[in-house]
């Protein structure tokens, strides 16, 4: 298990670097990130959340039966996202680096992602719905951004209250 860093840790606001070597060290990091994400009840995790500033994230959505199977895991390395059209969707997002806080965020409805797999093979996929939301959320981490930067006025008020309460309960 790796430690997941949480807001307001400064590392979360740094831009991650491209992966250059698709070697056993990368594979170990991907495997450790997967174990960390699953044991934290996550469906997405970026490398910066475990304090590794590399352009990597994982997504493992639940299937129709609400099961989270490793066969549905997608490892994105050096991803590049392109919106398809101008449609947007709103989804209530959460992040393992902002524990216990969930709020609506607006994102592109459909996207294309070009990325590499763990062996350095070029891949591409088109996504909509929850997968598109998750990819955009995780890709923001690679550029040092968190979903809480995209909140509405009321969402920000809700976050302030949440952060105050979490501070209190830590004391
Ligand atoms: C849609 C929106 C956002 C994403 C990004 C990936 N986010 C997560 O995987 C968030 C997981 C999460 C899990 C939590 O734990 C439980 O619910 C048991 C959680 O709550 C606490 O930590 C207290 C917060 C976030 C993908 C798709
Ligand atoms: Co996140």
18 is catalytic: no
Q: How far is the CA of 169 from the centre of ligand 2 (A)?
A: 22
pLDDT at residue number 167: 86
Ligand that comes closest to the CA of residue 91: 1
pLDDT digits (tens, 9 = 90+) for 59-115: 999 999 999 999 999 999 999 999 999 999 999 999 999 999 999 999 999 999 999
- On average, the pLDDT of the chain sits at 98
pLDDT digits (tens, 9 = 90+) for 142-153: 999 999 999 999
pLDDT at residue number 120: 98
Work out the angle at residue 46's Cα, subtended by the Cα atoms of residues 116 and 79, and round it to the nearest 5 degrees: 30
Share of the chain above pLDDT 90, in %: 96
Neighbours of 158 (CB within 10 A): 17
CATH code of the domain made up of 10-170: 3.90.45.10
Cα–Cα nearest to 80, from 34, 133, 142, 26:
142
pLDDT at residue number 156: 98
DSSP secondary structure string for all residues of 136-164: HHHHHHHTT--GGGG--HHHHHHHHHHHH
Q: What is the mean pLDDT of residues 120-134?
A: 98
Walk across the sheet containing 44-46 and list its strands. Answer: 44-46, 56-59, 74-83, 110-116, 122-128
Supply the pTM of this predicted model: 0.97
Do β-strands 88-94 and 102-108 pair in parallel, antiparallel, or remain unpaired? antiparallel
> Tokens for 167?
């501070």
Ligand that comes closest to the CA of residue 105: 1
> Tokens for 134?
């998750």
Task: Give the chain's end-to-end CA distance (angstroms, integer).
Answer: 26
Q: Is the pLDDT of residue 26 over 80?
A: yes
Q: How far is the CA of 100 from the centre of ligand 1 (A)?
A: 8
């Amino acid at each position: 298990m790796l430690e997941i860093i949480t807001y307001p840790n400064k590392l979360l606001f740094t831009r991650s670097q491209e992966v250059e070597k698709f070697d056993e060290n990368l594979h170990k990091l991907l495997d450790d990130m997967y174990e960390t994400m699953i044991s934290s009840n996550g469906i997405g995790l970026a490398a910066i959340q475990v304090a590794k500033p590399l352009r990597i994230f994982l997504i493992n959505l639940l299937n129709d039966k609400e099961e989270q199977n490793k066969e549905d895991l997608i490892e994105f390395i050096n991803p590049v996202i392109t919106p398809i059209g101008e449609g947007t969707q709103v989804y209530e997002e959460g992040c393992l680096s902002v524990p216990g806080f969930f709020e609506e965020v607006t994102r592109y409805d459909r996207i294309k992602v070009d990325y590499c797999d763990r062996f350095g093979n070029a891949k591409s996929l088109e996504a909509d719905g929850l997968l598109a939301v998750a990819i955009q959320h995780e890709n923001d981490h690679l550029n040092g951004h968190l979903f809480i930067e995209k909140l509405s006025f009321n969402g920000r008020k809700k976050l302030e209250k949440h952060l105050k309460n979490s501070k209190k309960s830590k004391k």
